[in-house]
Amino acid sequence: MNDTLTAFAQAKIDELEAKSLRRTLKPTHRTDGVHVVRGGREYVSFSCNDYLGLSHHPRVKAAAIVAVEAYGVGSGASRLVTGDNPLLGQLEARLAALKGADAACVFGSGYLANSGIIPTFVGPQDVVIVDELAHACIWAGATLTGAPIVAFRHNDVADLEAKLAEHRGKARRALVATDGVFSMDGDMAPLDAISRACRAQDAWLLVDDAHGLGVLGGGAGTARLFPEAQIDLHMGTLSKAIGGYGAYVCASRPVVDLIKTRTRTVVYTTGLPPANAAAAIAALDVIECEPELVAAPVARARRLTGSLGLPEAQSAIVPVVLGEAERALEAAADLERQGLLAVAIRPPTVPAGTARLRLAFCALHSEDQVDQLAEAVRPWVGA
């Protein structure tokens, strides 16, 4: 044991604890799309990203079980060695078709996808321009490029244009990256205007649509709502509305070929387990056959925003911004006493002074459950 390491860690933990920023894991299991059991008590959860409840859908589970029986639980090696189960290729074809792209590549997770894709196309002589509220793994990928990273104000296309005008000329190439739906705010990026700004300055556009797939655009994702937008890299995850685990990028065939040849988080990591691919294919089947299910999470979210007089929800995510971390923790504890789980989100996940309850809605929440949540949240927003 190294004493200085332990002392360093303890001091850091104490410092975070004093600021209400220490995090601890709480063993939790989910029994369906909306219920979780924690500390022996059952809660209605508004903190899961399983927007369609597909993690527990009989058809999705059955597909995973069949794949486990046929191929085992792991893929055994990286895809370029022996880990390229044909189910991965089938899933890629489905995702590419859904996004109207030539090809797709699946990844072990969204974090792996963004941290691998961005440095595949961008190097130190280039520039990465990122929405200030983009997900942490976009920032991780941008950092690995060695290129200057420039933030533009959240969803502010004029600021993006200004940043492009300032930095594009000095850089060999430029990549602009944004979330399609912002994970902690639930708002959508104006992809048509962002795409126009990118075209005007010959910049590539990456959109992380982790929270749009299966929920917006009839299930196809945020880009479907902006038919004019030209998106070079459609990235997303299999862990939210798809209900499982993993991620993807859809793009032109040469772009995907280069990713499969060079991206470090494809080449040097174990392939996605076949059962995850089988489950995702079954989930896409459900999404394509059940438009009412796809429409339900946003309807639930709007029921809450309507009831509390908050800005109308644009996605399945509604932020209730409460300010300091302590206040968000108190609100979460108050809801928990009422059997509702809405985890407090604190800095550095969100900017200082904007700690919040991040409410996520599932198609399987009943209207009564949403109304109960609204009454529990009401005193905290003074509505």
Which residues are catalytic, by number? 183, 211, 240
Q: Is the Cβ of residue 134 or residue 355 nearer to ligand PMP in the bound state?
A: 134
Scanning 105-113, 158-166, 224-232, 364-372 for contacts with ligand PMP by CB under 6 A, the matching segment is: 105-113
Please classify residue 86 by burial: count the beta carbons closer than 10 Å to its beta carbon, then call 0-12 exposed, 13-18 middle and 19+ buried. Answer: exposed
Q: What is d(CA 235, CA 232) in angstroms, rounded to the nearest whole number?
A: 10
Instruction: Pick out residues in 270-329 that bind ligand PMP (CB under 6 A).
Output: none
Q: What is d(CA 374, CA 365) in angstroms, rounded to the nearest whole number?
A: 13
Q: Is the Cβ of residue 51 or residue 111 nearer to ligand PMP in the bound state?
A: 111
Q: What is d(CA 71, CA 68) in angstroms, rounded to the nearest whole number?
A: 5
For residue 372, the minimal CB distance to ligand PMP (Å) is: 26
Q: What is d(CA 246, CA 101) in angstroms, rounded to the nearest whole number?
A: 19
Please classify residue 79 by burial: count the beta carbons closer than 10 Å to its beta carbon, then call 0-12 exposed, 13-18 middle and 19+ buried. Answer: buried
115 forms part of the interface with ligand PMP (CB under 6 A): no
As a 3-state breakdown, the chain gives helix, strand, coil percent values, each rounded to 5, of 45, 20, 35
Scanning 55-63, 98-106, 203-211, 353-361 for contacts with ligand PMP by CB under 6 A, the matching segment is: 203-211
Q: Quick one: which of 105, 189, 210, 250 contacts ligand PMP (CB under 6 A)? A: 210
179 forms part of the interface with ligand PMP (CB under 6 A): yes
Q: Which element (helix H / strand E) includes 104?
A: strand 103-107
Q: Vertex 132, ends 127 and 136: CA angle to 5°?
A: 85
For residue 31, the minimal CB distance to ligand PMP (Å) is: 21
The answer to whether 70 and 62 are in contact (CB under 8 A) is no
Q: Is the Cβ of residue 49 or residue 201 nearer to ligand PMP in the bound state?
A: 49
Q: Quick one: which of 43, 71, 111, 121 contacts ligand PMP (CB under 6 A)? A: 111
Q: How many residues bind ligand PMP (CB under 6 A)?
A: 13
237 forms part of the interface with ligand PMP (CB under 6 A): yes
User: DSSP label at 128?
Assistant: E
Q: Quick one: which of 110, 141, 221, 243 contacts ligand PMP (CB under 6 A)? A: 110
Instruction: Pick out residues in 120-139 that bind ligand PMP (CB under 6 A).
Output: 135, 137
Enumerate binding residues for ligand PMP (CB under 6 A): 109-111, 135, 137, 179, 183, 208, 210-211, 237, 239, 247
